[in-house]
Chains A and B, each alone.
Chain A
Amino acid sequence: MPATFVFSESNLVGEVITDDIANVNFGSVDEVEIVTATNPVIAGENSFSKYIRAKFTGDFTEISNMKFWKSSGALKTGEAIKAAANVVFATPSAVDTGDSDVPTDEGTALDIKSAEGADTIENGGSGVSGYSGYIRLQLQSTVEIPAGAVNQKEFTFQYDEV
């Protein structure tokens, strides 16, 4: 059986961890599974940063070569998505994260380490949590962004398993 994979998100002061999240909607509040209709990002502002991780459980031996990139979805004028990998969790906010544009192909994808900073997640290894490192995401906008919903984006998380 393949390793069981879920996305996990961390929020709030002191870090509240929610495993197996349903979505990673960007919005104007530090919440998991944000309802964008009631928490939209105002033009010219940033979304609250998102701290997501992969979590692996099950009877795998080793997870390695974890990568993350935006695989499709055009940005609108005045819209940017920033991303960084293996960062330290901090209480999410709308302050500019200072991160780079999210990579858009496998060749330039973010290399994701384990939560413990290793290249692999070894099942049953001493001190191994099964989590990847944090991926920090933020939608940033300028006043030029058109009103209304942004285009749908697709992100890819890739890993090798034995």
Chain B
Amino acid sequence: MNSIINQNLGGEQFNVNLAFTWKARFKTGEEISQFDNGKENKFKLIQDRFSELSYFYLISKDLSQCFCIDLNRGLIFFGNHQVVSEDFLKEKKENIRLIYFRRHQIKMTLNNTTKSHRIQYFLGLQWNNSKKNNHKSILQIDELGNWILGV
């Protein structure tokens, strides 16, 4: 896991407006980054190939933080550390799916329509257990890299 993350930290071109950008690795080994040679790839490229996805990374602009979703095993990593409990690891997971979106909050006063614009990143996975019940685990990450895990 460590080598995978380190390998994926190099050569990125980050957009200054986003604190975190994504990178996807497919089962074939192919990788798609959100930003590639100055061009932005739409997330739709990933959505269209969800079933082929192996890993999905969210990497901070300064490269100091990396969150990883392992879609093969249904695990969540922050750097080299798993951020899930032992019970989570024991559970058999089927139909593992990525959850990722950015939540924007634009606060405005009556006399100023762009008072503040805050972005939070939601990253996680959902799966079905052996009884076919659906479960979710989602990281909520702010622009400073503070995060909490919701299960």
Chain A CB within 8 A of B144 CB? no
Q: Is residue B119 contacting chain A, with contact meaning CB distance below 8 A?
A: yes
Q: Is B47 an interface residue (CB 8 A)?
A: yes
- Cβ of B115 under 8 Å from chain A: yes
Are B102 and A2 neighbours in the complex by a CB distance under 8 Å? yes
Identity of the chain B residue whose Cβ is nearest the Cβ of A66 in the assembled complex: B104
**A23 interface neighbour in B40, B107, B110, Cβ under 8 Å:** B110
Is there an interface contact between B42 and A155, defined as CB atoms closer than 8 Å? Answer: no
Tell me if A88 counts as interface (CB < 8 A to partner B): no
Please, what's the 1-or-0 string for A127-157, where 1 marks a CB less than 8 Å from any CB in chain B? 0000000000000000000000000111111
Task: Note all chain A residues with C-beta closer than 8 A to B112.
Answer: 22-23
A25 to B144, CA, bound (A): 33
Asked if A157 and B108 sit within 8 Å, CB to CB, the answer is: yes
Question: In chain A between 79 and 136, which residues have their CB closer than 8 angstroms to a CB of chain B?
Answer: 123
**Do B119 and A2 have beta carbons less than 8 Å apart?**
yes
Q: In this assembly, does B100 line the interface, its C-beta being within 8 Å of a C-beta of chain A?
A: yes
Count of chain B residues near A, Cβ 8 A? 26
Q: Are B43 and A162 in contact (CB under 8 A)?
A: yes
Interface size on A, residues (CB 8 A): 31
- Selected from B40, B105, B109, the residue in CB contact (under 8 A) with A152 is B109
Q: A2-B18, A156-B107, A158-B104 are in contact. Are A24 and B42 (CB under 8 A)?
A: no
> Nearest A residue to B106 by beta-carbon distance?
A157
When the two chains form their complex, are residues A160 and B106 in contact, meaning their CB atoms are under 8 A apart?
no
In the complex the two chains form, is A158's CB within 8 Å of B40's CB?
no
A154-B115, A162-B43, A162-B47 given as contacts; is B103 within 8 A of A7 (CB)?
no
User: Which of A1, A26, A154 makes the CB contact (< 8 A) with B108?
Assistant: A154
Question: What CA separation (Å) do A59 and B47 show in the bound complex?
Answer: 15
Inside 8 A of B113's CB, which chain A residues have their CB?
Answer: 6-7, 21-24
Contact B40 A61, beta carbon cutoff 8 Å: no
With most chain A CB atoms within 10 A of its CB, the pick from B47, B105, B106 is B106
Instruction: Knowing that A123-B42, A158-B103 touch, tell me 19 more A-B residue pairs with CB under 8 angstroms.
Output: A1-B17, A1-B40, A5-B106, A6-B113, A24-B108, A59-B40, A59-B42, A61-B43, A61-B44, A64-B101, A152-B110, A152-B111, A153-B109, A155-B108, A158-B106, A160-B104, A160-B122, A161-B103, A161-B104
Pick the 10 closest A-B CB pairs, nearest first: A162-B43, A61-B44, A61-B43, A23-B111, A160-B101, A7-B113, A61-B42, A157-B106, A59-B40, A161-B102
Subset of 21 A-B contacts with CB under 8 Å? A5-B104, A5-B117, A22-B112, A24-B113, A26-B110, A59-B40, A61-B43, A61-B47, A152-B111, A155-B107, A155-B108, A155-B110, A156-B106, A156-B108, A157-B106, A158-B103, A158-B106, A160-B102, A162-B47, A162-B100, A162-B101
Chain B contact residues, CB within 8 Å of chain A: 15, 17-18, 40, 42-44, 47, 100-113, 115, 117, 119, 122
